[in-house]
Amino acid sequence: MYEYNYQMVSHHCLSIYLTKAFCVLCVVSWTDGNGMPSKISASVVSYNNREQLMRLLQSFERYCDVATVDLYLIDNASVDGTIAAVRQSFPWVKLIVNERNLGFGEAHNQVLDQLDSEYHLVINPDIVFIEDTVTSLADFMDSHPQVVMATPRILNLDGSEQRLPKSRPRLKYVIARRYEQRFGWAKQLCREYTRADESLDQPTHIENCTGSFFIIRTKIFKQLGGFDSSFFLYFEDNDLTVRAMQLGSVMFVPITQVLHGYERAAMRDLSAFITQARSMLRFFSKHGW
């Protein structure tokens, strides 16, 4: 009788051991090399903006857990020492170095096949972190499964609200933004475009998610094929938003915030203006005026 009980206990213990071993194996397969879930990835595209990029990465390192985020830097053939500086100061950054300038969207798309995260962040090099916005946005997405894409509150470097478009682009809005400082009608249209007269203190549905900083479900980003690479620069974020809205909600999430060194180069540089005009025509021909 005693021997029979001993055998049963032995078999029971072996069963428990094998079950625990299987669970440990499952946990290991779900984690990265540091034992942490590989939940979030991010990509930054740079082109001769080393100083801004250094400031971004310093702030990211200060406020975010770099061990739990796969951050890719895609450099579009910079000649200002960007790559050497990043390699020396931020060895945890995953580098992709291009021999020519591929543009914004196509460069970001280079990471698509490498992503195995749950969420992906697109970050401009002129962003500055002032809190752990990465975790805040990931937590928001966790609790709102219907949301496919979101952007936080974005502030100017002086801490004031940055009025970025939240409505779908229309020709009237694009024209108004060029004359905002000269005409009252243009200023009013710009306020409509950015929804400046609304109280946006709670998460709110929007139709325009800025490419300077947003989070997107990785499976959605892949399903959409990333950015439309026919947009070299400008309107690629608007295009992605329109396509993402067909799969779920796009939200403005003011529970967290980042700083953005907004420059609007197309307002000053002829070449940038021509590039923007081409992208505008591409967007409206694709999605309607």
Mean per-residue pLDDT over the chain, rounded: 88
Q: Which domain holds residue 136?
A: 36-157+203-263
Between 12 and 118, where is the model more confident?
Answer: 118
Identify whether 222 is part of a domain: yes
Query: Is 234 in contact with 222 (CB distance < 8 Å)?
Result: no
- Read off the pLDDT band of 71 (50, 70, 90): very high
- Read off the pLDDT band of 38 (50, 70, 90): low
Identify whether 43 is part of a domain: yes
Residues 6+ apart with CB under 8 A from 71: 41, 42, 43, 44, 60, 92, 93, 94
What's 225's domain CATH number?
3.90.550.10
CA distance 62 to 174: 37
- Render pLDDT for 251-275 as a digit per residue (tens, 0 to 9): 999 999 999 997 655 555 788 889 9
Identify whether 191 is part of a domain: no
Identify whether 44 is part of a domain: yes
User: Looking at residue 289, what is its pLDDT?
Assistant: 84
User: Looking at residue 136, what is its pLDDT?
Assistant: 98
Identify whether 73 is part of a domain: yes
pTM recorded for the entire structure = 0.85
Total structural domains within the chain = 1
Identify whether 194 is part of a domain: no
Identify whether 272 is part of a domain: no
In the numeric block, the tokens 């475009």 are attached to 193
Identify whether 16 is part of a domain: no
Residues 6+ apart with CB under 8 A from 51: none
